[in-house]
Amino acid sequence: MQAKNPTDRTNSEDTKLLKRLAKLYTSSGNHSEALEVYDKLLKEFPGDRALLIEKADCLMAAGRILDAEECLERVLEIKPGDPRAFLSYSKLYGAMHDRDKEISFLMLAVNSVPAAWKLRLALAAKLREYGDLKGAQVQYLEVLKIKPHLETAKFDLGLIYMGQDKFDEAAREFSEIITNNPSAFDAHFNLGNLHFRTGKYDAAIAHFTVAVRKNDLAAKSSYLMGQCFLKLQDFDSAIVTYERLIDSEPDNISFLKSLAEAYVEAKEFDMSYDVYERLVELQPKSSEFRLRLAEHQNRFGKHSSAKMTLKALFQISPGHIGGHRLLGEVYAANSEYKAAAEEFERILLVNPAYSDVYISLGKVYRATGRYEDELSVLRKAYALGNKEPSYLLRLGELEYDKGNEACFNKFERLIEIAPESNSAKEAEYYLRHGLQAA
């Protein structure tokens, strides 16, 4: 056997060093130095396709698109169908913002090496980025035929299914990821989100409890966990969850709003009052928060404060119907019945289908002894389909006192809507005894 020439070995080592040097120059942005090295190498190896492709990538990075294209054309002259050249062409057209050609050349690269799952995965990701979700879905499924448990493909496919509202298919992908990798926090988060959207709140909490261990998912997971507790009417757990979130982000509007809502559901109105005051401080132009604060002020008998808050609300949102209805309630609570009636009547001129306002106006008429007017407006609320139990009882009683058998329809409807309420028990009395009990 003939011994290798030491000079050949030295030349080979020099070539390797030059190739590494060219790549180093390219990665550090020294494109002119890199191109000098590539030109030197290509003089010695003019048909080296790998070198030509690397030079093309360097030219692209330097913004010399036409020169890069010339290099790639040379590669395809040497070997038509070279997948690496197709891939570089795809990068080139991506740099030129020509999406159609970028995708076309990436598809050529994939089709030239069908078993190259990494190329197919890149194609799927690019299609998804550009909004071709059906095309991306096809490619992810092809990847999974080659690599059945590839987490990246299953995760992205699950996201596509979520966007298509294919919740069962999405849940299957995320569940399989978790089976193979119990610490896949993003999969836990998305599966929890799916369960939340489909009303499976206990299952959602179980997954959010895992996802919360990842820093960038902690706040989102805790927030949605709090929403689950609210849906399950576990108000104490919801309050604890949001209080912890606010400890870390005291001015977060979403967290404060959810905490206030949790306090309201738990009937801890003194606590929700404080939170709504804070929300108004943070977002003084929010009509919603001013309205909620005014509701609390009215609840606690702070009628002057409620009027001032509503005055500020009307400066932000003139003609705010909810605000004007609440102002009527404030007047009524403060025994300013004339002002209350005028406020409600003005609302009904603008929106004659606002059935709750008929009920509020009826209460004012009752307080001022205008029973015929009360009966008239409550009948309008009934005609509009209002289902508030207490007014149905009152409407039935007014008709009962007049000996009008239509009262029984109101009592029956009340019992159907709220069978366990005290109002329903009173309605049952009237139904049992008939008009002779009047």
DSSP category for residue 249: -
pLDDT at residue number 116: 92
414 φ, ψ (degrees, to nearest 5): -60, -45
User: Are 293 and 277 within 8 A, CB to CB?
Assistant: yes
Instruction: State both tokens at 292.
Output: 């909620």
pLDDT at residue number 436: 63
User: Are 414 and 427 within 8 A, CB to CB?
Assistant: yes
Q: What is the pTM of this model?
A: 0.79
What's the alpha-carbon Rg for the chain, to the nearest Å?
Answer: 36
Q: Which 3 state secondary structure label does DSSP give 116?
A: coil
Residues 6+ apart with CB under 8 A from 212: 218, 221, 222, 225
pLDDT in tens, the chain (438 residues): 444 444 444 567 888 899 899 899 989 999 999 999 999 999 999 999 999 999 999 999 999 989 998 999 999 999 999 999 999 989 989 988 999 999 999 999 999 999 999 999 999 999 999 999 999 999 999 999 999 999 999 999 999 999 999 999 999 999 999 999 999 999 999 999 999 999 999 999 999 999 999 999 999 999 999 999 999 999 999 999 999 999 999 999 999 999 999 999 999 999 999 999 999 999 999 999 999 999 999 999 999 999 999 999 999 999 999 999 999 999 999 999 999 999 999 999 999 999 999 999 999 999 999 999 999 999 999 999 998 999 999 999 999 999 999 999 999 999 999 999 999 999 999 999 887 654
- The C-alpha angle 373, 376, 378, rounded to 5 degrees, equals 110
Domain residue ranges of the chain, discontinuous segments joined by +: 387-438
Instruction: State both tokens at 269.
Output: 């109105």
Instruction: Quote the longest CA-to-CA distance of the chain.
Output: 126
pLDDT at residue number 238: 98
Instruction: State both tokens at 375.
Output: 């009966």
Residue whose pair of structure tokens reads 């007017």 in the numeric block: 373
Instruction: State both tokens at 264.
Output: 């309201």
Q: How far is 163 from 87, CA to CA, in rounded Å?
A: 29
Number of other CB atoms surrounding residue 435 within 10 Å:
13
